[in-house]
Structures are given as structure tokens and as C-alpha cells.
């Protein structure tokens, strides 16, 4: 979710560890459902409290949101420690999520970042269980009932999220395991996504088996969970297909041809060199013109739009470096870089292209974002 969308759709609660925390408007739906579901139960147990039972039920909704926040903060902090750029934490109808920027993940970091969220809830649940076991029995009351609900909720949050299917955290662990065994992230994602679809189907079977249609609110919640898992798994399958298409590619095999020139060379001489190289029946991509700035280490690719604005009488005195799109030295990739890593390379840095270099650092060609998009679309 983008920052603008989060700002329009909910409230910014503040920052934790330098990470923005937002409360999506959809959270209030689950807060109302919590009050409607648990308020009457508490009212039957503590009739003398009257409407205060509804306040306690709302306190459970707030405590549940806090538990989800602990879960997401654990993801965010460990992700940051692993070098992942953290966007924001958003508390939503279905719990919450932490947004990360594009990262060069590994199976190990993926599994670790995924596991810490559920483990944080299990630790909270364990602490709460110990408190209830050690505290005197006479402490039973509305506050005790609220503690019991929160302990139970944290056990559910922790253990449920460990189930082995995407988009749950346990699904990420399955993805990481298959990725480690096969060397293919796309295979890991596909296996974990199909497992997630299976979990959604099992929830529906359980709904039928338990005849939950007799409890409309419980039925609604369970159907929402099943739909959330199924849709998340389906989205992951689409991602796996994308990664599967680009994984076999190598940077050198899809790079457009390129000629390297000194940035001080007049544009007219570059024009002449490119024209000579592409005449006499040449077919294929028009070669990109690239340059390297020796002082800064920056890389450049000629911008046809800028070059077109230079009049013919000035092209002999205009350095080609003046009509380049310049980028840091990180806008390069080895010739044998895999397509999925190349895609992340472009997304992480926001580059429109990368210059492909051989082991001797000579220019092999240029891969543009649309070149990968063409392979993703199967064209």
C-alpha cells in the first residue's frame, strides 16, 4: 500500500523503531464484529456490569490490534536487520501487514523474517498463560476474562500463521525451504501458494463439517479468512509464473547491443559511428549508446529525446555526455545474472535500464525494463 493510500484510508498512529504505523479504516469493521460477538457473552457472565461489558469487548478488539502490531513490528525490525527496506505497518480488517521495498532476499532471510512474527505472538501467549497459572484464583473477573481472551487470541495468531500455506507466514517458510532445495524461488512460491489454496479449501470443509451456518457471525468470519487465504495464494501463483518466466534468462542473452563512447566525444561523431555500424542490411535493435564517467563512475545511456533536440549545426560541438541519462555505477549487471535477479535489480534501485558487463568490465549490452516485461508477457 502506498503512503498516499494509507493516509487517505486510515489514521497514522505514529512511528515505532522508525517505521510508520497506520490504522486502516477497515479495522473498525473487525472492532464492531468483536463487540457484537463477545459483548453478549461477557454480558451473560457478568450481568451486573451491564453495558460495561461492551467496553470490555472493545478492549479485546484494541488488545487484539496490539497483538497484531507486535507481530508486524517483529517482521519489520528483523527485516530491517536483514537489510530489507521497510515501508510501513498497516493494521487492517484481516489483521495487518508490513510493506517492504524490493529486496534481494534469500531463503534464509525469508524464513527468518517470516517466523519472527508468529513467534512474537507465541511468546506473548506464553507470558499470559504463565500469569494466569501463577495468579491467585480470586483475581477472576472481567479483567481476567479479557486476559483469557487475549492469551487465546495470541495462541491463535501465532499458531495459525505458522500453517504451511501462502499468504500466511508459515507459507513463506515453505517457500524458503523449497527455494533452498531447488534453487528456484518461483518453485518455492508455487508450492506454498498451492498449499495456501489447500488450506482455504480445508477451512470451507470445516465450515460445512461444523455446520457453522447456524452461527452467522462466525460463518462470516471464517468465510472471510478462507477468502483472504485463497486470494493471497492466487496472487502468489501469479508472482511465481512471472519469476518462472524470467528465472532461466541471463542478462547477456536479452541485452540490446550497445556501443561505448567517451562522454566527451562530439555527438556528430557518435551519429556517424552508429550509422556506419547499422548500414548495409543491418537488422535488429538499434544499438544503445553508452558512456562511463571516469571521475564519478556513473554510467550513461543516450537519451534519443535529448539527442533529437540538438540542432545539426551544434552536434559537432555538443559532447555526447550532455544527452545521456546518467545513473550510479550500481546500474550495471554481470553478463550471467539471472533474469529474476535482474528484475529485482531494476526494481530495487528504480533504474529504467542496466548496462551489462563482461568479467573484464567491457560493455556487452543494455537491458531495459521493457525487455524483461516482454519476456514476462511471453512476447
Out of 215-219, 300-304, 350-354, 360-364, pick the least confident: 215-219
pLDDT tier at 153, thresholds 50, 70, 90: very high
Q: Report, as an integer, the average pLDDT of 209-237.
A: 88
The string over 229-258, giving b where at least 16 C-beta atoms fall within 10 Å of a residue's C-beta and e elsewhere, is: bbebbeebbeebebbbbbbebbbbebbbbb
Q: With 60 as the cut, is the pLDDT of residue 162 above it? A: yes
Question: In this predicted model, which residue has the larger pLDDT, 239 or 75?
Answer: 75
Distance CA 303, CA 5 (A): 33
From 224, 246, 268, the end of a domain falls on: 246
CA separation, residue 142 to residues 18, 73, 235 (Å): 36, 29, 42
Q: With 50 as the cut, is the pLDDT of residue 167 above it? A: yes
Is the domain of 70 the same as that of 138? yes
Is the domain of 272 the same as that of 160? no
Q: Report, as an integer, the average pLDDT of 227-243.
A: 91
What is the Cβ-side half-sphere exposure of residue 213, based on CA atoms within 13 angstroms? Answer: 5
> Residue 378's pLDDT is what?
64
Please state whether beta strands 353-357 and 332-334 pair in parallel, antiparallel, or not at all (unpaired): parallel
pLDDT tens, residue by residue, 50-74: 888 888 889 999 999 999 999 999 9
Q: With 50 as the cut, is the pLDDT of residue 377 above it? A: yes
Residue showing cell 457471525 = 217
Is the domain of 239 the same as that of 259? no
Q: Report, as an integer, the average pLDDT of 268-282.
A: 86
The gap from C-alpha 159 to its chain's centroid, in whole angstroms, comes to: 22
> Residue 139's pLDDT is what?
62
In 79-126, the DSSP E strands lie at 86-92, 95-100
From 246, 266, 286, the end of a domain falls on: 246
Distance CA 179, CA 182 (A): 5
In this structure, the number of other CB atoms found within 10 A of the CB of residue 309 comes to 9
Q: With 60 as the cut, is the pLDDT of residue 6 above it? A: no
The string over 176-214, giving b where at least 16 C-beta atoms fall within 10 Å of a residue's C-beta and e elsewhere, is: bbbbeeeebbbbbbbbbbbbbbebbeebeeebeeeebee
Is the domain of 185 the same as that of 295? no
Q: With 70 as the cut, is the pLDDT of residue 374 above it? A: yes
pLDDT tier at 379, thresholds 50, 70, 90: low
Is the domain of 204 the same as that of 267? no
If you average pLDDT over every residue of the chain, what do you get? Answer: 88
Q: With 90 as the cut, is the pLDDT of residue 309 above it? A: yes
Is the domain of 304 the same as that of 226? no
Is the domain of 309 the same as that of 339? yes
Is the domain of 114 the same as that of 159? yes
Of 41-45, 74-78, 89-93, the range with the highest mean pLDDT is 74-78
Q: With 60 as the cut, is the pLDDT of residue 311 above it? A: yes
Is the domain of 180 the same as that of 99? yes
In this structure, the number of other CB atoms found within 10 A of the CB of residue 325 comes to 15
Give the pTM.
0.76
From 227, 246, 265, the end of a domain falls on: 246
Number of independent structural domains in the chain: 2
> Residue 323's pLDDT is what?
95
Q: How many helices and strands in the chain, by DSSP H and E?
A: 13, 11
Q: With 70 as the cut, is the pLDDT of residue 159 above it? A: yes
Q: What's the domain range around 255?
A: 251-376
Q: With 70 as the cut, is the pLDDT of residue 192 above it? A: yes
Question: In this predicted model, which residue has the larger pLDDT, 48 or 192?
Answer: 192
Q: In what helix (H) or strand (E) does residue 308 lie, and over which residues does it extend?
A: helix 304-308
> Residue 348's pLDDT is what?
74
pLDDT tier at 144, thresholds 50, 70, 90: confident
Question: In this predicted model, which residue has the larger pLDDT, 340 or 112?
Answer: 112
> Residue 334's pLDDT is what?
92
pLDDT tens, residue by residue, 85-141: 888 999 998 889 998 876 778 999 999 999 999 999 999 999 999 988 887 666 667
CATH code for the domain in which residue 319 is found: 3.10.580.10
In 25-92, the DSSP E strands lie at 86-92
> Residue 9's pLDDT is what?
58
pLDDT tier at 369, thresholds 50, 70, 90: confident
Helices 169-182 & 107-134 angle (0-180, nearest 10): 140
Is the domain of 85 the same as that of 124? yes
Under 8 Å between Cβ of 128 and 105: no
Q: Long-range pairs for 328-331 at CB < 8 Å and ≥24 separation?
A: 328/297, 328/298, 328/299, 329/297, 329/298, 329/299, 331/299, 331/355
Could you tell me the three cell numbers for 309?
A: 533536440
> Residue 1's pLDDT is what?
32
Is the domain of 100 the same as that of 228? yes
pLDDT tens, residue by residue, 281-297: 777 778 999 999 988 88
Q: With 60 as the cut, is the pLDDT of residue 3 above it? A: no
What value does the CA radius of gyration of the chain take, rounded to a whole number of Å?
Answer: 28
pLDDT tier at 79, thresholds 50, 70, 90: very high
3-state secondary structure of 243: helix
> Residue 102's pLDDT is what?
65
Distance CA 89, CA 1 (A): 10
Is the domain of 234 the same as that of 272? no
The single-letter DSSP state of residue 88 is E
Amino acid at each position: 500500500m502506498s503512503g498516499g493510500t494509507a493516509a487517505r484510508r486510515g489514521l497514522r498512529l505514529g512511528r515505532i523503531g522508525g517505521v510508520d504505523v497506520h490504522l486502516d479504516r477497515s479495522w473498525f469493521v473487525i472492532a464492531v464484529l468483536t463487540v457484537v460477538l463477545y459483548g453478549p457473552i461477557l454480558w451473560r457472565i457478568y450481568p451486573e456490569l451491564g453495558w460495561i461489558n461492551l467496553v470490555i469487548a472493545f478492549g479485546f478488539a484494541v488488545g487484539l490490534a496490539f497483538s497484531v502490531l507486535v507481530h508486524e513490528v517483529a517482521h519489520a525490525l528483523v527485516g530491517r536487520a536483514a537489510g530489507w527496506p521497510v515501508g510501513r505497518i498497516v493494521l487492517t480488517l484481516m489483521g495487518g501487514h508490513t510493506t517492504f521495498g524490493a529486496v534481494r532476499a534469500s531463503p534464509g532471510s525469508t524464513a527468518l523474517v517470516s517466523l519472527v512474527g508468529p513467534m512474537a505472538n507465541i511468546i506473548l501467549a506464553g507470558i499470559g498463560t504463565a500469569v494466569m497459572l501463577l495468579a491467585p484464583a480470586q483475581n477472576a473477573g472481567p479483567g481476567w476474562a479479557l486476559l483469557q481472551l487475549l492469551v487465546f487470541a495470541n495462541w491463535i495468531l501465532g499458531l495459525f500463521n505458522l500453517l504451511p500455506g501462502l499468504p500466511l507466514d508459515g507459507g513463506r517458510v515453505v517457500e524458503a525451504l523449497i527455494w533452498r532445495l531447488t534453487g528456484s524461488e518461483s518453485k518455492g512460491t508455487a508450492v506454498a501458494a498451492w498449499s495456501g489454496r489447500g488450506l482455504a479449501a480445508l477451512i470451507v470443509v470445516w465450515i460445512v463439517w461444523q455446520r457453522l451456518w447456524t452461527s452467522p457471525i462466525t460463518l462470516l468470519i471464517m468465510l472471510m479468512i478462507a477468502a483472504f487465504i485463497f486470494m493471497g495464494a492466487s496472487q502468489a501463483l501469479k508472482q511465481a509464473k512471472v519469476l518462472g518466466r524470467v528465472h532461466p534468462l541471463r542478462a547477456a542473452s536479452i541485452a540490446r547491443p550497445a556501443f561505448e563512447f567517451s562522454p566527451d566525444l562530439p555527438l556528430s561523431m557518435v551519429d556517424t559511428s552508429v550509422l556506419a555500424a547499422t548500414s548495409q542490411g543491418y537488422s535488429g535493435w538499434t544499438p544503445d549508446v553508452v558512456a562511463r564517467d571516469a571521475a564519478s563512475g556513473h554510467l550513461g545511456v543516450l537519451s534519443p529525446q535529448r539527442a533529437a533536440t540538438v540542432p545539426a549545426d551544434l552536434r559537432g560541438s555538443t559532447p555526447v555526455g550532455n544527452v545521456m541519462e546518467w545513473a550510479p555505477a550500481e546500474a550495471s549487471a554481470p553478463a550471467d545474472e539471472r533474469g529474476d535477479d535482474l528484475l529485482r535489480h531494476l526494481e530495487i534501485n528504480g533504474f529504467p535500464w542496466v548496462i551489462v558487463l563482461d568479467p573484464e568490465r567491457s560493455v556487452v549490452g543494455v537491458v531495459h525494463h521493457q525487455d524483461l516485461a516482454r519476456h514476462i508477457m511471453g512476447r
